[in-house]
Structure 1
Amino acid sequence: MKAGEATLQKILNTSRQFIIPIFQRNFSWEKKQFKQLWTDIQRASKFTRERTHFIGSIVYIDMGTPAGRPQQLMLIDGQQRLTTLSLLLCALKRYVQKNDVETNLIKTKKIDNQFLLNSDEMGDDKYKLLLNAQDRETYIKLLEQTEFTVNTPSKRIMNCYEYFYQQIEKCADDLNSIFLGILNLSLVAISLDKDKDNPQLIFESMNSTGKDLAQSDLLRNYLLMDLSTREQNRLYTTYWKPMEDAFGQYAYLEKFDYFIRDFLTIKQNNGHICKVNDVYEQFKRYYIEQNLTKEDILKEIFIYAKYYAAIELDREKDKDLRMYWRQIRMIDCHVAYPFFLQLYHDYEQKNLAKEDFILIIKTTISYIVRRAICEIPTNSLNKTFAVFYNKINKQDYVNSVLKEYILKTAYRAFPTDYEVREKLQTKDIYHFRLKNYLLEMLENYYHKEPIDIVRDNYTIEHIMPQSPELNTTWQKMLGENWREVQKIYLHTLGNLTLTGYNSEMGNKSFEEKLNGENGFKHSHLKLNQYVASCEAWNKKSIQQRTSLLTDLILKIWSYPVFKNK
């Protein structure tokens, strides 16, 4: 290992090319990091040339200099920093060129030749920085000023470029200071010996500070880093790249670590659920214990990633399953994902019929919803679903699942119809976390053209108004104890409905809400039919509607019944 401090200009102002290997994470810096770098540049702009501002390090392996080509340097660490600085310089060059404001210090060719391009080279050799597959096209098109031709640009690359272009516009009268600040930045450049140094260990230690790497980034590097370039490319393009594409740019950053956690929960098969920040260490232990090849483990991850994307990211192709996965997302049923992933694998392997798969999903939804209605704590559910699959009898698959649900007791019990009905009599549904889902499903039960509350801009309406001082018309309708009736039944199921005209209804009288231009009698929503049939709205009306809607809830989210063979 060789290390030395150098300015950005010294690092880049030569015929060399920093290559970000395919196993490295995509560009992931955000506004917080951009802002910090911009602050560093402004501070460094006030220094004399003898003084520099240290901004971190880069680590690379010298891959040699092919005949007639730039020196090839594989960038192991520091790609976020180097990419951001390159995008900043790209933005500065574009601004200077567009506004014809070159100075003795800042010239577009100087920026190109010293920081961005190997101007005498052709093809990919032309670029001093060559990003990985996801970001490369967007970056190159920005350099070539043709980014508008990219079908699916890297959002983070574009966000970075646009952020710095806007900052440069604000400092248009002081461009020389900006450039001086860039020239006064320094980094520690660490060159590894590819035959002696262990890049993975160095990579892990170098990334213990700053913007944390995702656990999946460490995992990917662990699986691919020490392979030949040819093998890296093959495994990456066969397995990892399709997973990145299936997840998409943001979901990959936000959700892939959670998928790996669920994958490990399944594979460890002992009910242990690791913390998401421990995924990488847990994965290494699993991989070593199983004595798998890297292709074997990548193939396993790839298979389950497809299932996860179908469930969590709306990638399901089957329209029936897609409908139920949407419900799973609506009720935030992530605790059951390890269980669903195992079921999905059996379904894909033709060991579980589609109708049985759907029945189990529906029953699981009922289990979660009923427990939420009955306010049963959820802290036991992770463990419940982590070991559920182990209890399935494959000879009587679906019934063994239903039996397991029925036999659960105490804090893991499946709430009965009686328990649900009792709870719903006076339960505050308006502040219930599943209120939108509950009302949407009730509305859609008889609909061939289902509504979507968010998409269709529906809101929840209190039929008896929320105002603490009801007008005399409402007081008279509710009776002498109107305050008590309002206090007990205001937020209950029977007093809530859906409307697209919430602001128009407000505290109006029941007659106005009923017969007005946008009143309940003119509503096409099924939820409003009973309301429209009432002449008065009081405790009795609310109780009757609660009872009717509860009957429907018990049908939609039904208690398990064994399937006849």
Structure 2
Amino acid sequence: MAIIKHAMRQTLGQLIGANNPVVTVPDDSQRQYAWSKKEVDTYWADIQKFRTARATGREADSEYFIGPIVTIVDEHKKGRSLLDGQQRLTTSTILIAVIRDILWRMGSPESRATANNMQRDYIARKAGRREPMEYFLALSLFDRDFFRDFIQDWNETSGSARGSEERKRPSHKLIQEAYSNFESKVTGELAVFPDEDSRLDWLDSLYECLIQGLVFVEIQTPTSSDANEVFETINSRGKDLSTVDLVRNFLMEKSSEESSKQRVNDTWRVLLDNFEKREEIERFLRHFWVARHGDVKSHSLYAAIRGELSRDFSKIPQVYSPKAFAAELESASLRYVDLIHCSTGVEEFDSALLDIKALGADALHPLLLAASERNDYAQLQDLIEACLSYYVRWTVIGTRESTVLEENIFGVAKEFSGGAGCSSIMRRVCSWIPDNDTFQSAFEEASLSKPSQARYILTKIEGKLRAEADIDDVFPVGSARVHIESIYPPQPAPQIRLDEHEAWVHRLGNLTLLSGRRNPELMNLTYPEKSHQYEGSTLLVAASTGIERLWDSEREQWSRQGIRARQAEMAKIALELWPDAGAWS
């Protein structure tokens, strides 16, 4: 059970301020800034509701409880180490900085004096001319320098922060976006006031709500182990904490040596620097674990990792350590970045990775991650092509249970990690690919309502047609210049509307690609009125696949049989694009 020294009510002004112990986010236990626009907008809405209620003067509305925070208080050290509450305190500091900067830009002696006082009281100050800057909230090593440069190191003469630190991580972008978001909201609120006095009053009201009205419960613990236990308990009952953050905290807790903690931190730097979004890191961690241990759902991933690693780390003699796990995680992350960014350097393999990206076939990544640990990418070309055929035939066109495909792929990924050879895994994957008769029959009836999948299928057919026509130029089918068109229109005139309209609009035989700007005026016309855009198209999937069959000129009606006929011909092309197991026998 965790030891709790104190649990006390604290306003924001009592947590971060010149007369209070500095709050420091320790390097070995906390995540980087993670609030996106959604969380910042919710925070702002809550503050606005509270400010309005507080203005009524009712005692019940005088404070707004924003949640607990967890700190580590060591009697032999100054300040407090913050384990839980970083997002709220960082966001609050950003909003204070926005108020400070807007006050300065107002330009009056009163507004600038207030801005300077705000900076010194609740953001940062120097105790003396030659003393170092004291920061009332010190973030962890991942965000510390950027946050100081962008928010805290503010010049009272120029009224601006330094702004010289390079933005390196997703969290840095989120800090900037939170600032811009608040700046836009506050500026918008001030626009309705006719004079400076009214604007100063409104800013003062907002500032006072933050400093005196926001209330936390600070839970003080004596050790990081106690704090971690409280931290996990709180976050398991509220908004989910990132699995990546929980895993890092766990590894730091299990690292008994400084070199081990440093190795974990080095790995997390690599993760934060190489992935563009936090969601990508979360997905990587799950796929890394799945590749070694088989399927596990996102909501139970941390429990699975903690349980398995706890057993491994506690074995005597210890043969597996947090340092070793961190090293493996870092190595795998570099390969995973190559996979999701299609940047392995092997042209044919990267082209197949682009197909996976276009389809959103993330379920294939654990197998490729496991396979790439002991094989060159060029050696995996047959495997990735077989996986694509399996995915298209089973999921996209066959519309069969995607969970079955995932279980199969995750299972062989685990086998690969366990030492299975590429040839045996290849045989397993090929055995799951639906045969030609099944695939052709499904393709002839397929409807695709997902634009990304429809675009992918049509793009591959276009490529096949251009290759057969010996056309060398590469048309940018993936660009904004190319759009998907329903030949039989989504909103036809009532007299030419087909029965079971919805069933025919998304049929593959009714879809094509067109280049140029989409023309809504042409979209819903009859075929004769818009035939020129197909006949004159530079894309063969529009000009050379018998689109004219979709119109019955004698009856002046759209033709179901024409859609079927065109789709049947496309199905024959698809058999070559996504072959059955015989292609690799």
531, 554, 559: which one aligns with 2:575: 554
Aligned counterparts of 1:92 and 1:16: Cα–Cα separation in 2: 23
Mapped partners of 1:219, 1:316: distance in 2: 28
> Could you tell me which amino acid in structure 1 is paired with residue 539 of structure 2?
L
Q: Please name the residue that 2:157 is paired with.
A: none
Structure 1 unaligned spans of 5+: 348-352, 409-413, 476-481
CA, structure 1 residues 506+242, in 2 after alignment: closer, same or farther (shift >3 Å)?
same
Q: Which residue of 2 aligns with 1:57?
A: 68
Q: Does 1:366 align with 2:376?
A: no
Task: Give the aligned partner of residue 9 of structure 1.
Answer: 13
SS state of the match for residue 151, structure 1?
coil
Change (3 A) 1:41 1:298: farther
Q: Does 1:404 align with 2:404?
A: no
In the alignment, the residues of structure 2 paired with residue 488 and residue 284 of structure 1 have an alpha-carbon distance, to the nearest angstrom, of: 48
Amino acid at match of 1:520: Y
Q: Give 1:235 shift.
A: 1.9
Asked if 1:142 corresponds to 2:151, the answer is yes
1:428-480, Cα deviation, whole Å (9 max, x unpaired)? 34668721110011112326554454523322234455555588xxx8xxxxx
- Structure 2: which amino acid aligns with 1:156? L
Aligned to 1:179: 207
Question: Who is 1:443 aligned against?
Answer: 462
310, 314, 329: which is aligned to 1:288?
310
Task: Give the superposition deviation at 1:287.
Answer: 0.4
Seen in structure 2, the aligned counterparts of structure 1 residues 495 and 536 have a Cα distance that, compared at 3 Å, is closer
Deviations 1:274-312 (A, max 9, x none): 221211111111102223211011112222222332333
Match of 1:479 in 2: none
- Matched with 2:280 is 255
**Cα separation, partners in 2 of 1:242 and 1:448, compared to 1, 3 Å:** farther
Distance in 1 (alpha carbons) for counterparts of 2:301 and 2:508? 42
SS of residue in 1 equivalent to 2:241: coil
What letter matches 2:217 in structure 1?
A: V
Q: How far did 1:546 drift?
A: 3.1
How far apart, in 2, do the equivalents of 1:448 and 1:211 lie? 53
Q: Greater shift after overlay, 115-124 or 23-32?
A: 115-124
Q: Is the 8 A contact 1:138 1:157 kept in 2?
A: no
Between 239-248 and 168-177, report the one with greater CA deviation. 168-177
Pair 1:416-2:438 in alignment: no
Could you say what secondary structure the match of 1:191 adopts?
Answer: strand
CA shift, 1:20, in A, is 1.2
Distance 1:147 1:510, change over 3 A: farther
Match of 2:350 among 318, 322, 331: 322
Verify the 8 A CA contact 1:324 1:362 in the aligned structure 2: yes
| CA distance, structure 2, for counterparts of residue 549 and residue 123 of structure 1 | 75
Which one-letter code corresponds to 2:296 in the other structure?
C
The separation in 2 between residues aligned to 1:432 and 1:376, in whole angstroms, is 19
Contact 2:392–2:578 (CA under 8 A) maintained in structure 1: yes
- Alpha-carbon distance in structure 1 between the residues aligned to 2:389 and 2:143: 43
Instruction: Look up the match of 1:494.
Output: 509
Summarize the Cα distance change of 1:309–1:406 in structure 2 as closer, same or farther, 3 Å threshold: closer
* Partner SS, residue 561 of structure 1: helix
Match of 1:411 in 2: none
Give TM-score, length-normalised by structure 2.
0.79
Asked if the contact 2:488/2:550 (under 8 Å) is kept, the reply is no
1:35 paired to 2:45? yes
The CA distance in 2 between the partners of 1:112 and 1:508, in whole Å, is 63
1:371-390 deviations in Å (ceiling 9; x for gaps):
23123222312221121246
Alpha-carbon distance in 2 for matches of 1:559, 1:463: 30
Say whether residues 1:425 and 2:432 are aligned partners.
no
Q: Distance in 2 between matches of 1:199 and 1:395?
A: 40
What is the TM-score with the length of structure 1 in the denominator?
0.81
Give how far 1:40 is off. 3.4
How far did residue 27 of structure 1 move? Answer: 1.6
Matched AA of 1:298 = A
The residue identity in structure 2 corresponding to 1:297 is F
Contact 2:486–2:505 under 8 Å retained in 1: yes
Contact 2:69 2:216 in 1 (8 A): yes
Identify which of 504, 507, 523 aligns with 1:506.
523
Distance 2:32 2:108 in 1: 33
| Aligned-residue RMSD, C-alpha | 3.7
1:402-432 Cα shifts (integer Å, max 9, x gaps): 4323434xxxxx2221222223334334668
Match for residue 222 of structure 2 among 193, 211, 220: 193
Count of residues in Structure 1 that have an aligned counterpart in Structure 2: 531
Please say which of residues 176-185 and 462-471 is displaced more in the overlay: 462-471
Report SS of the residue matched to 2:19.
coil
SS in 2 for 1:26: coil
Tell me the distance in 1 between the aligned counterparts of 2:411 and 2:551: 49
Q: Tell me whether 554-563 or 40-49 shows the greater mean CA deviation.
A: 40-49
Q: Mapping of 1:369-408 within 5 angstroms?
A: 369-371=392-394, 372-389=396-413, 397-408=421-432
Change in Cα spacing, 1:288 to 1:465, as seen in structure 2 (3 Å) is closer
- Whether 1:345 aligns to 2:397 is no
When structure 1 is superposed on structure 2, of 453-462 and 71-80 the one drifting more is 453-462
Query: Partner amino acid for 1:235?
Result: R
Seen in structure 2, the aligned counterparts of structure 1 residues 209 and 103 have a Cα distance that, compared at 3 Å, is farther
The residue aligned with 1:478 is none
- Give the structure 2 partner of residue 25 of structure 1: 31
C-alpha distance in structure 2 between counterparts of 1:488 and 1:127, whole Å = 63
Deviation at 1:555, TM superposition (A): 1.0
Aligned-pair CA distance for 1:552: 1.7
How many angstroms apart in 1 are the aligned matches of 2:450 and 2:64? 53
CA contact (8 A) 2:512 2:542 kept: yes
CA distance in 2: counterparts of 1:346 and 1:551, whole angstroms = 37
> The residue matched to 1:207 in structure 2 has which SS?
helix
Aligned partners of 2:451, 2:382: CA distance in 1, in Å?
A: 26
Q: How much does 1:535 deviate? A: 9.1
Structure 2 unaligned regions, length at least 5 = 155-159, 191-198, 314-319, 553-558
Cα separation, 1, equivalents of 2:334 and 2:498: 54
Q: Counterpart of 1:345 in 2: which secondary structure?
A: coil
Letter in 1 for 2:577: I
User: Equivalent residue of 1:189, what SS?
Assistant: strand
Q: Secondary structure at the match of 2:143?
A: helix
- What is the SS of the residue equivalent to 2:67? strand
- C-alpha distance in 2 between matches for 1:393 and 1:95: 56
8 A contact 2:454–2:508 mirrored in 1:
no
How far, CA to CA, are the matches of 1:165 and 1:424 in structure 2?
Answer: 52
1:245 and 2:289 matched:
no
Whether contact under 8 Å (2:18, 2:136) holds in the other structure is: no
How has the CA–CA distance of structure 1 residues 228 and 383 changed in structure 2, closer, same or farther, with 3 Å as cutoff?
closer
Counterparts of 1:500 and 1:163, CA distance in 2: 37
| Aligned residue number for residue 350 of structure 1 | none
Higher alpha-carbon deviation: 202-211 or 325-334: 202-211
Are 1:99 and 2:106 matched, yes or no? Answer: yes
* Contact 1:56–1:188 (8 Å) recurs in 2: yes
CA contact (8 A) 2:344 2:377 kept: no
- Alignment CA distance shift 1:417-1:43 (3 Å): same
Q: Which amino acid in the other structure matches residue 164 of structure 1?
A: F
